[in-house]
């Protein structure tokens, strides 16, 4: 069984700190956010710029990015990752729903306790985590994120909505019972939000097409139909020469649009690559339009941020280490890949979901506190991203995960 850390920690840390790619991506993250903040503070752009950019990214860029990221060769390890991440998504969200209640049980105000727990369980995964994951770790980590995020959307549009909308305090401050009219749950509307979301549709469409490549005999196209260039056996990429001249030819099905319909794929892929810089710029715009002074005095915002940026991803990392250790002990290595670890850790150290904060504002459930948490945790997540990316780079160098 491999050691937890192969090689000295100093060597792994040195390799991480000297990575040009690491610091390039960190610099991009900080610069894009700072640029958005500057443009709003100096009134170079209207205050609603962040909302407009976010809507564009959510409805167009991220679905394109999610679908295009699955246009790659089917592998057994990739299939294992898909199954593991789908199951992990439900395990983590159910676990963190209960963990949130436990972590904030000391809060005396019942409404604050409920809001803190819900916001802790549901982070801003699509808005904040996904662009960073794909920018730093590539499409493979993005695919793992999308599969794990299915559970997020199921619980965010059901559990989180029901808890926030139907919260009724047991007793008032004077001790008298309080009756509050509960909001009627529109199941049909809820299901639409879960399954007719453009990002969810694109994820499932891309995932299904990717999985279909595993069917024997479906990969019939062995050369670019337009140039005759052969398709290399390693990653399904085009290589020079004709199909007949290639030593190892890898076939693809007709729905590998990156090869069969490259002009459409490239257009969609370009829209997808806009997600990361635009959403980071939008985060900066959002920060530029909020009052930092009020937020910094809210102790709950700082406590929540510390738990979310440090404790939550630490627990996830420990769980994944345990899973992989058990897999190795049972002669089933590579149960948890490094791409799964990368996507999961970044997913769990992000600010609260904008939808969940929106619930708090719409139903007047500690909306000021929710807004303060969103602001402070966004700043905390920027610092946390730098720290966790370095930690993950060191872990990757150990070779413990596949």
Asked whether the beta carbons of 156 and 353 are under 8 A apart, the reply is: yes
Nearest to 201 by CA among 46, 67, 345: 67
Q: Which pLDDT score, from 0 to 100, does residue 260 have?
A: 85
Domain 9-215+258-398 sits in CATH at 1.20.1530
Q: Which pLDDT score, from 0 to 100, does residue 116 have?
A: 96
Query: In 10 A of CB 215, how many CB atoms?
Result: 10
CA distances (Å), 331 to each of 79, 243, 325, 338, in order?
Answer: 18, 39, 10, 18
Asked whether the beta carbons of 340 and 81 are under 8 A apart, the reply is: yes
Q: Would you list the domain boundaries of the chain?
A: 9-215+258-398, 219-252
Q: Which pLDDT score, from 0 to 100, does residue 21 have?
A: 67
Q: What are phi and psi of 122, to 5 degrees?
A: -120, 105
Task: Quote the CA–CA distance of 232 and 324 in Å, as a whole number.
Answer: 32
Decide: helix, strand or coil at residue 241: strand
Q: Which pLDDT score, from 0 to 100, does residue 185 have?
A: 61
Q: Which pLDDT score, from 0 to 100, does residue 199 have?
A: 81
Q: Which pLDDT score, from 0 to 100, does residue 342 have?
A: 92
pLDDT per residue of the chain (402 residues) written in tens, 0 to 9: 344 444 555 565 566 566 676 677 778 878 888 898 899 888 899 988 888 888 888 889 888 988 988 888 888 878 888 888 999 999 999 999 999 999 999 999 999 999 999 999 999 888 788 878 887 888 888 888 988 988 998 898 889 888 988 776 765 445 554 445 556 666 777 777 777 788 888 888 998 998 898 888 888 887 777 777 777 655 445 444 444 444 456 778 888 888 888 889 999 999 988 887 887 888 788 778 777 777 888 899 999 999 999 999 999 999 999 999 998 888 887 788 899 999 999 999 998 988 888 888 788 888 889 888 988 998 898 889 889 988 998 888 888 887
Asked whether the beta carbons of 252 and 262 are under 8 A apart, the reply is: no
Q: Which pLDDT score, from 0 to 100, does residue 14 have?
A: 65
Q: Which pLDDT score, from 0 to 100, does residue 171 have?
A: 55
Nearest to 120 by CA among 334, 307, 320: 307
CB burial readout 123-140, b (16+ within 10 A) else e: bbbbbbbbbbbbbbbebb
């Amino acid at each position: 069984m491999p050691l937890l850390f192969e090689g000295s920690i100093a060597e792994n840390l040195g390799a991480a700190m000297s990575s040009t790619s690491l610091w390039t991506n960190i610099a991009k993250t900080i610069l894009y956010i700072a640029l958005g903040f500057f443009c709003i503070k100096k009134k170079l752009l209207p205050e609603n710029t962040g909302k407009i950019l976010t809507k564009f990214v959510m409805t167009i860029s991220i679905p394109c990015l999610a679908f295009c990221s699955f246009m790659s060769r089917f592998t057994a390890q990739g299939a294992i990752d898909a199954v593991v991440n789908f199951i992990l998504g439900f395990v983590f969200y159910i676990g963190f729903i209960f963990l949130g209640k436990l972590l904030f049980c000391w809060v005396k105000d019942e409404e604050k306790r409920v809001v803190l727990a819900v916001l802790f369980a549901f982070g801003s995964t699509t808005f904040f985590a996904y662009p960073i994951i794909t920018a730093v770790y590539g499409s493979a980590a993005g695919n793992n994120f999308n599969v794990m995020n299915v559970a997020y959307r199921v619980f965010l549009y059901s559990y989180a909505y029901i808890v926030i909308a139907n919260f009724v305090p047991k007793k008032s401050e004077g001790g008298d019972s309080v009756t509050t009219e509960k909001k009627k749950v529109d199941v049909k509307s809820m299901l639409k939000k879960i399954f007719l979301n453009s990002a969810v549709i694109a994820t499932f469409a891309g995932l299904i097409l990717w999985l279909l490549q595993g069917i024997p005999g479906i990969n019939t196209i062995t050369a670019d139909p337009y140039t005759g260039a052969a398709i290399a056996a390693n990653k399904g990429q085009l290589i020079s020469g004709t199909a007949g001249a290639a030593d190892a030819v890898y076939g693809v099905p007709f729905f590998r649009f990156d090869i069969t319909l490259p002009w459409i794929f490239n257009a969609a892929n370009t829209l997808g690559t806009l997600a990361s810089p635009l959403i980071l710029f939008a985060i900066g715009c959002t920060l530029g339009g909020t009052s930092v002074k009020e937020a910094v005095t809210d102790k709950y915002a700082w406590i929540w941020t510390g738990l979310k940026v440090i404790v939550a991803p630490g627990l996830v990392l420990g769980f994944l280490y345990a899973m992989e250790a058990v897999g190795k002990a049972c002669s089933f290595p590579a149960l948890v890949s490094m791409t799964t670890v990368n996507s999961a850790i970044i997913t769990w150290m992000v600010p609260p979901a904008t939808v969940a904060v929106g619930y708090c504002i719409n139903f007047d459930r500690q909306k000021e506190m929710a807004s303060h948490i969103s602001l402070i945790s966004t700043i905390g997540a920027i610092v946390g991203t730098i720290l966790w990316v370095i930690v993950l780079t060191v872990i990757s160098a150990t070779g413990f995960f596949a």
